[in-house]
Amino acid sequence: MTHFLPGVTDPIDRPEVWPPTIELRRGADSIAEHLAALRTVAAARFTPTYHRGRGIVYVGGGAYWPGIVVGIRMLRGTGCKLPVEVWYRGSCEPVNPADVADLDVWLIDAEKCPLSNRVKFSTVDRGGWESKLYALSLTMFNEVLFLDADAYCVTDPVPLFDLLTEREPLVFWEDMPNQVHSIAWDRVWPDGTGRVPTFQGGQFLIDLHSGWRTLAVAHWMCQHSDYYFGALYGDQDCWRVALAATGAGFRSLGPADWEAPAFVCRHDGAPYVVHRCQSKMFVGKPGPRAESLPGEARAWELFASLTV
């Protein structure tokens, strides 16, 4: 019996198919099976019990590690003192604890965490997008600011947590307008989109106690990425489907501003997050600089200190 959350049985209880077949992703029987399972998960009631307080969650290691270290040091430079979790896959994503010593950071090997032997986790060979929702399902925090490995704060994010409410437990910025068509709704949730806007998945906030069902649906879809990632754009579109399937409340902060090579996420005119999705800080082949981005000089200074 496979669990996708502690004690919650997966309605499709079998190993994933990788690489996926055409029949899995487009066959009528497979579409019907996944829709029935998604309805089951979306209608279920989940009760999280182990989440407390506020914190920041990053996911990644290996080539992404320098960008995460820059992000944590940029965060501390804003004056933010919230604790940070970094989830990584120890078998393929090495980290260097010395880089974040004394910065109130918890490093968690997702493959060895205490609950990893009780819940499904099969992401090692496929890029790791599924790890993001896995980390959020097991984090110790209740109110979370999630940041991609190539995203960092340039303003103390603590005021953003006050935007979370019981009725709107998911707060996010929208992606580019062309992403509105990135989901094959007929194969995923033919009941309709619920007018859910695009979702920029590199940074968002969630209250897990109030938004647990939405998280559960998105997480379940990611753990069946062999099917779903052929019909939508990774984890960020799983959130859109989860919102449509559950009818849950959310708050959009409007479009993330595209300032090539990065998104700049603002609220009330102030820049809070830079998501440099086309300028990642990879050792040996870093992306281009863009001096107009908030905090650019400081970010590159920190990156340089890691590569000397």
- At residue 150, the pLDDT reads 98
**What residues have CB less than 8 Å from 100, skipping those under 6 apart?**
69, 72, 84, 86, 107
- At residue 117, the pLDDT reads 52
Indicate whether 154 pLDDT > 50. yes
Kindly report, residue by residue over 284-294, the tens digit of the pLDDT.
999 999 999 99
CATH code of domain 3-255? 3.90.550
127 confidence band (pLDDT: 50, 70, 90): low
Helix (H), strand (E) at residue 262 = strand 262-267
What is the mean predicted confidence (pLDDT) over 35-56?
A: 90
Q: Is the dihedral of CA 258, 259, 263, 266 positive or negative?
A: negative
88-92, 161-165, 176-180, 231-235 — which is least confidently predicted? 88-92
- At residue 124, the pLDDT reads 43
Question: What is the C-alpha separation between 289 and 308, in angstroms, rounded?
Answer: 18
Indicate whether 18 pLDDT > 90. no
- At residue 111, the pLDDT reads 84
Residue extents of the structural domains in the chain: 3-255
